[in-house]
Structure 1
Amino acid sequence: MREAVIVEAVRTPIGKRKGLLQHIRPDDLAAIVLKEVVERANISASLVEDVIMGCVTQSGEQAGDIGRVAALIAGFPDTVPGTTLDRQCGSGQQAIHFAAQAILSGDMDIVIAAGIENMSRVPMGSNYQEAAVSEKLKSQYEVIHQGLSAERITEKWELTREELDQFSFESHMKAIQAQQQGRFEREIVPVEVTLPDGSTTTLREDEGPRSDTSLEVLNSLRPSFDKNGSIHAGNSSQISDGAGAVLIMSKEKAEELGLKPRFTIKTRVVVGSDPTLMLTAPIPATAKVLEKSGLSIDDIDVFEVNEAFSCVPLAWLKETGADRSKLNPNGGAIALGHPLGASGVRLMITMMHELERTNGRFGLQTMCEGHGMANATIIERIN
């Protein structure tokens, strides 16, 4: 039986909104991780059989099949194809699934799964501003903003404003601790940035984590979507910029090239859920991926559940009964940021490195997606 294995993975630092990465085009930013991931593996880019790149807002500088364009900018031979996909916030994770599936089917042996989003340069929603929501869709479902979906989840799972803010504070504190201990250094490629005045600087770490935040600050923020609600900027994910890439091979090809695989992509699922409540699909996705893999929730050593809003992982914890200490141990999107199309890859890369750091065996990643969907992936560390 064929196996899809992860040989190498790398990401950029995650830039905050209008931070340093606003000065780099998204296709140029994506090219950095594509070039770096093959260099780290010490293989020729000519061996790559496809580049599959997640990107949500495919307009402006992110239009025109950025997966193919970024590969060309990276200096890959023109024989290497590339494609771009949109499964909303799970686009990067779906790229990993499609790459693994291409390998498991026998169609390919070496694929790069990647993700990109520069939200400072290509604003969220700019690819569909002119398109009104279908009347046929509205006749079947209540179409509301994700922030209002988060408010409904908060109410349904009886989460308090204090719980939401406490989770958000902990996300920042965990991310700050991880930075101070150098946990992210191996997974990040520093990015040199040319500023408008012509000078250059290098971004080496994520810009989002705030050491100066506090529960008092979070408690003082006004609700963003419902004046009587609990969801605000401090307990929501950040608008961010970033890119990442994962080099996936068949186990046989890796061995043929003399490479040491780091992880097996054990199980992959994707599910749909209520498109109005929208953000709850990680719960059934987790149940399905565990059942398919023959594992229990207690077998998992690290969970990465995307922090779109703090209510999402908190509701997930209530439903799954997972050990909270294993969840997002280095912080999540509330602190690190959420560059839409790249987040699925970022979560995977951070989970890989945490499993290696702690000698864990299994990691489970899942994330909510627009219109009510979620991917879930289980990886297994190779000794």
Structure 2
Amino acid sequence: MTTYIYDAVRTPFGRAGGALSGIRPDDLAAVVMKATVERTGLDPARIDDVIFGDANQAGEDNRNVARFGALLAGFPSSVTGVTVNRLCASSVEAVVQGSRAIEAGDADIVLAGGVESMSRAPFVVEKSPRAWPATGNQTMWNTSIGWRMVNPQLPKGWTISNGESAEKVAREGGISREEQDAFAIRSHRLAAQAWADGIYDGEVVQVPGAELARDEGIRDGASMDKLAALKPLFAPGGDGTVTAGNSSSINDGASAVLLGSEGALPGEPLARIVSRATHGVAPDVFPLAPIEAANKALARAGKTWADVDLVELNEAFASQSIADIRGWEGLNPEKVNIHGGALAIGHPLGASGGRIIGHAAHELARRGGGVAVAAICIGVGQGMAIVLER
């Protein structure tokens, strides 16, 4: 049995402390869930399961945000929900699990996707192993992003920050500051143009009470001079190349991908899922993991990079994106992120995978056919990729 994508929607992505920061993550999830059934005319009672990704789950997104989102969206209580976590690829994982359920015959329709409010991610304090009151000071952790409460048995070289990993990949791959900045400017330029051309109109739904004209992080005035003025963030002594300008930002948003078996919904699907794959590398070089993940997925689909018409690669960092593109032998780089990427659009961790898969599916429908790859890097040394075809 084959899994088809019947629709895909997302919210505009907001910046940290920006337009969406006042919206709870469960409410963000409910927005895209409700919009999906309204757009397709689907009776939500027909949904066999809701599978949503969420990388944090430490605050208002705790205790199964997929289930709470479905209830807030007005779905019948008979519709179940489960929340999955593969960090940055959480909503890719949701789509993969949903497609497997359909292909196994365990489901006919699955609503997959993801959500993240990095603005509202709480500070947390470790609980004392002894009865309270505890003695001494306690460490408070910011759960928005990055390592926390790390197991001391892990090698220290692995537990560097994501930005330090991006610096390492840039240094070892000979990726210059100028290349990274130019890649970032391309992302902003293409994203701004896509919004101006109405490319995103059919796949972005507004959040009531927090309307955004477009993704909040896009900068029309990005230039080499402006980016060159930014200081490196992750290298001692300031001699690095990774800056806020060539890194993705802290963001809020949600995405949804409606999956079904053949004929499960009326109308022609946007695309079908052909194959998927994961790949692991050492945690300190996690940006490189999508290279082999995508290669594996293409091999499983019986295709090569010459067969690929477009690529949606999540841009966590410019250095990561450049390294991945270089690693895909035979791919024309101009086919990657033709409408901008996360450096401009944003990267709300749990929602990003649904965005790239959804946009790839919509673009295949606009073109009337083709092959697309959606790929994403994942903190702690993983990559994930999915191949779509129409």
Q: Same fold (TM over 0.5)?
A: yes
Cα offsets for 1:243-284 (capped at 9, x unmatched): 011110111433xxx342221111011111111212110011
Matched position secondary structure for 1:202? coil
Deviation at 1:133, TM superposition (A): 1.4
Letter in 1 for 2:61: Q
Residues 1:192 and 2:208 are matched in the alignment: yes
* Post-superposition offset of 1:105: 0.7
**Amino acid corresponding to residue 192 of structure 1 in structure 2:** P
**Unpaired runs of at least 5, structure 1:** 194-200
In the alignment, what sits opposite 1:198? none
Equivalent residue, structure 2, for 1:295: 303
* % identical aligned pairs: 40
The one-letter code of the counterpart of 2:347 is: H
Deviation at 1:135, TM superposition (A): 2.2
- For residue 325 of structure 1, give the secondary structure of its aligned residue in structure 2: helix
Q: TM-score, normalised to structure 1's length?
A: 0.93
Secondary structure of the residue aligned to 2:337 is coil
- Aligned residue for 1:245, secondary structure, equals strand
Pair 1:283 & 2:299 matched:
no
What is residue 151 of structure 2 aligned with on the other side? Answer: 134
- Pair 1:131–1:237, CA change in 2 (3 A): closer
**Is 1:176–2:187 an aligned residue pair?**
no
Matched, 1:240 2:251: yes
In structure 2, what is the equivalent of residue 196 of structure 1? none
CA distance in 1, matches of 2:28, 2:293: 31
Aligned residues of 1:55 and 1:341 also touching (Cα < 8 A): yes
Q: Is the 8 A contact 1:282 1:368 kept in 2?
A: yes
Residues 1:127 and 1:235: Cα distance change in structure 2 (over 3 Å): closer
Judge conservation of contact 1:192–1:203 (CA < 8 Å) in 2.
no
Deviation at 1:127, TM superposition (A): 7.8
What secondary structure sits across from 1:60 in the alignment?
coil
Q: Within 1, Cα distance between the matches of 2:204 and 2:67? A: 23
Aligned to 1:303, the other structure's residue is in SS state: strand
Q: Matches of residues 1-383 of structure 1 in structure 2 within 5 Å? A: 2-122=1-121, 125-126=142-143, 132-138=149-155, 142-193=158-209, 202-226=211-235, 227-254=238-265, 258-321=266-329, 322-381=331-390
Q: Is the 8 A contact 2:119 2:144 kept in 1?
A: no
Query: How has the CA–CA distance of structure 1 residues 111 and 234 changed in structure 2, closer, same or farther, with 3 Å as cutoff?
Result: same
Cα distance change on mapping 1:283 and 1:129 into 2, 3 Å: closer
Q: TM-score, normalised by structure 2?
A: 0.91
1:168/1:335 contact within 8 Å kept:
yes
Deviation track 1:301-347 (CA, whole Å, cap 9, x = no partner) reads: 11011110001110112111321110000110100000000000011
Contact 1:190 1:205 in 2 (8 A): no
- Residue 355 of structure 1 and its aligned partner are, at CA, apart by 2.2
Count of aligned positions: 369
Which structure 2 segments of 5+ residues have no match? Answer: 124-141
Matched residue type, 2:250: I
The Cα of 1:156 is off from its aligned counterpart by: 1.5
